[in-house]
Amino acid sequence: MSQVIDMVTCREFMKETLEQILKEDLVAIAALVEEKSTFLKQNLNKTELAGLTEEDLTAVFKLIFATHRKSKLLFEKYSLDEYKTSISELLYGDEALQIRFQSFMDTHSELSVYLRFDLAGELLHYSQPEKYWLWNRWMWDPEQNTGALPLVASEEFKLTASTYGEMYMNVGKAIAFVHEMAEAVEFQFINRSQIATNVYLSCVYIIYAYTIFKIKMTDEFNKVMPPMVEFSKRILGVHSKKKPVLA
């Protein structure tokens, strides 16, 4: 485990997190993410996915931080049927996971890289959270090598790979080790699912982001930075008070 994740650093981030946010708030955020996952599980199963309308898929996109305001752009690039086909192949195809992930990336080449792997990672994880894991830009940006995972990973562990599909597998390995350390790092109180790990990693990223913003921005900009609870909800896609419903 020490070869993948830096235990000391993980504990330090948890200590700093609890200096800025109540345990009850972390539990509440996780509950909202569980609701998001339930919605995606119900509406992205094989039967429901085939019957989704554009309005239905827009409701799904709105639950993903990278795409929640980009539905118009997404449907300008590809049709509803194209998305349903590629999502079905990503979630339920017969190919190996890394191949399915890379195929989704290649199929939607007119979208930015970030939109593609954020979308693929969220669709996989939240529709089948017991089977797949999350990957999005705040968790790890392969272009800049920034995000939550590089902050807690050991120097020996490399997330980079020759394809995005292989990178997704490396991200999964890192997240699995963080999840296994939940009790030792003392964030298992949030809940025992991988969603608790997502919440913890969102806080790691936010602490890092606050530090960077304080260095680079003026006091006026710092005053408008969202508090940790709101920030975490935003990047986890559960900030909206309106519950998603299908048309």
The string of pLDDT tens digits covering residues 169-194 is 999 999 999 999 999 999 999 998 99
The structure tokens listed for 7 are 């235990």
Q: What is the CA radius of gyration of the chain?
A: 18
SS3 assignment, position 221? helix
User: According to the model, what pLDDT value does residue 245 have?
Assistant: 56
**In the prediction, which pLDDT does 65 show?**
92
- For 68, other C-beta atoms within 10 Å of its C-beta total 15
How is the chain split into domains, by residue range? Answer: 7-235
C-beta separation of 99 from 107 below 8 A? no
197-209 residue pLDDT tens: 999 999 999 999 9
Angle, in degrees to the nearest 10, between helices 97-107 and 80-92: 170
User: What is the DSSP-derived secondary structure letter of residue 56?
Assistant: H
Tokens, residue 207: 């602490």
C-alpha dihedral over 153, 158, 162, 166, to 10 degrees?
-50
What one-character-per-residue DSSP string does 5-35 give? B-HHHHHHHHHHHHHHS-HHHHHHHHHHHHH
Q: What pTM was estimated for this model as a whole?
A: 0.92
Q: Give the whole-angstrom CA distance, residue 127 versus residue 82.
A: 19
**Half-sphere CA count of 63, side-chain side, radius 13 A:** 26
State how far the alpha carbon of 215 is from the alpha carbons of 39, 210, 212, 222, 223, in Å.
39, 9, 5, 10, 13
pLDDT for 226: 85
- What does DSSP assign to residue 106? H
pLDDT tens series, the chain, 247 aa: 457 899 999 999 999 999 999 999 999 999 999 999 999 999 999 999 999 999 999 999 999 999 999 999 999 999 999 999 999 999 999 999 999 999 999 999 999 999 999 999 999 999 999 999 999 999 999 999 999 999 999 988 999 999 999 999 999 999 999 999 999 999 999 998 999 999 999 999 999 998 887 766 666 656 667 889 999 999 999 997 666 655 4
